[in-house]
């Protein structure tokens, strides 16, 4: 009896024992029937949770391809996802975070990369309470979003808002006391006032301040001793002290891996 002569439900059951990624990339290419079966949402539901811990969507995918992945995979397994990378894709965060999905959505999400997305909306993301790393660089992320995120994510440790329209007002209103690193490079509206707030009130010890119009002399007067001792790290300073104040990427990366048990997007956000 030829394999393809088996009932599709039997073939689907057999396919459920194959790695989901292998099924999508290889098995589905054998013939139209196998492709149709491999696209069945029941395959997604039967697959191991570990296969959905890290999902990175390719930026070259069309909107329809992305929509298909979101609706047939991400929505069904959102509770299993720990790392979600949507950077530079054509899909919107609003669509991915559609609130018609079940209440357990994003319950295990730790790392979210939505850098360079045109639209961002955090009004319906209370389920992101366990988020520990967020990258929204070069997006429309603003003061309101920053304040909302600070209320929702008490466990946030790494934040990249590089190139966003963040102002001193947003930094003043937000409270992110759990942060160990923040990238505020090229946030042209920020001043020394925000640096002081982040270090003193948020107790964040590592910052990327590249492209900011800062008084290096004033910063050294305030935090020079701590910078020399390595207690505070400011990378991106335009003076001869920059080498001594550089953010220790390897140390934070290792700390982060120990905390979450998964690889960080830190290499993408600096």
Q: Which tokens is 189 given?
A: 């509206």
Positions of the chain with pLDDT lower than 50, given as ranges:
124, 240-252, 259, 266-270
For residue 118, the model assigns a pLDDT of 67
The distance from CA 65 to its chain's CA centroid, rounded to whole angstroms, is 21
Give CA angle at 258 (47, 150), nearest 5°: 85
**pLDDT at residue number 146:** 92
Question: Would you state the pLDDT for residue 166?
Answer: 93
Q: Do residues 70 and 63 touch, judged by C-beta distance below 8 A?
A: no
Quick one: pLDDT at residue 172?
A: 93
Contact, 176 vs 150, CB < 8 A? yes
| Nearest-angstrom CA–CA distance, 261 and 267 | 16
Q: Are strands 111-113 and 54-56 parallel, antiparallel or unpaired?
A: unpaired
Per-residue confidence (pLDDT) for residue 164, from 0 to 100: 92
pTM recorded for the entire structure: 0.78
How far is the C-alpha of 110 from the C-alpha of 128, rounded, in Å? 8
* Torsion (CA) 262, 90, 117, 264 in degrees, nearest 10: 10
Integer Cα distance of 7 and 70 in angstroms? 28
| Residue 233, pLDDT score | 72
The predicted pLDDT at position 171 comes to 94
CATH architecture designation of domain 70-269? Alpha-Beta Horseshoe (3.80)
pLDDT of residue 257: 54
| Domain range list for the chain | 70-269
């Amino acid at each position: 009896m030829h394999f393809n002569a088996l009932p599709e439900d039997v073939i689907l059951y057999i396919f459920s024992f194959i790695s989901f990624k292998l099924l999508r990339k290889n098995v589905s290419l054998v013939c139209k029937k196998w492709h149709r079966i491999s696209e069945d949402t029941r395959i997604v539901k039967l697959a191991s949770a570990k296969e959905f811990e890290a999902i990175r969507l390719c930026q070259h995918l069309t909107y329809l391809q992305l929509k298909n992945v979101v609706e047939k995979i991400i929505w069904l397994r959102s509770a299993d996802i720990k790392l979600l990378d949507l950077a530079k894709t054509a899909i919107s965060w609003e669509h991915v975070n559609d609130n018609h999905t079940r209440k357990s959505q994003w319950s295990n999400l730790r790392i979210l990369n939505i850098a360079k997305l045109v639209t961002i909306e955090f009004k319906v993301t209370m389920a992101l309470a366990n988020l520990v790393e967020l990258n929204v660089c070069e997006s429309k992320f603003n003061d309101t979003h920053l304040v909302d995120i600070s209320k929702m994510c008490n466990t946030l440790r790494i934040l990249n808002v590089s190139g966003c329209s963040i102002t001193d007002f947003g930094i003043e209103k937000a409270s992110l006391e759990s942060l160990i690193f923040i990238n505020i490079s090229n946030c042209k509206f920020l001043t020394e006032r925000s640096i002081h707030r982040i270090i003193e009130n948020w107790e964040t010890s590592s910052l990327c301040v590249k492209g900011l119009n800062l008084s290096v002399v004033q910063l050294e007067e305030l935090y020079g001793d701590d910078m020399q001792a390595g207690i505070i790290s400011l990378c991106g300073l335009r003076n001869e002290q920059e080498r001594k104040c550089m953010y220790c990427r390897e140390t934070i990366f290792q700390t982060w891996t120990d905390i979450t048990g998964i690889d960080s997007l830190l290499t993408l956000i600096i």
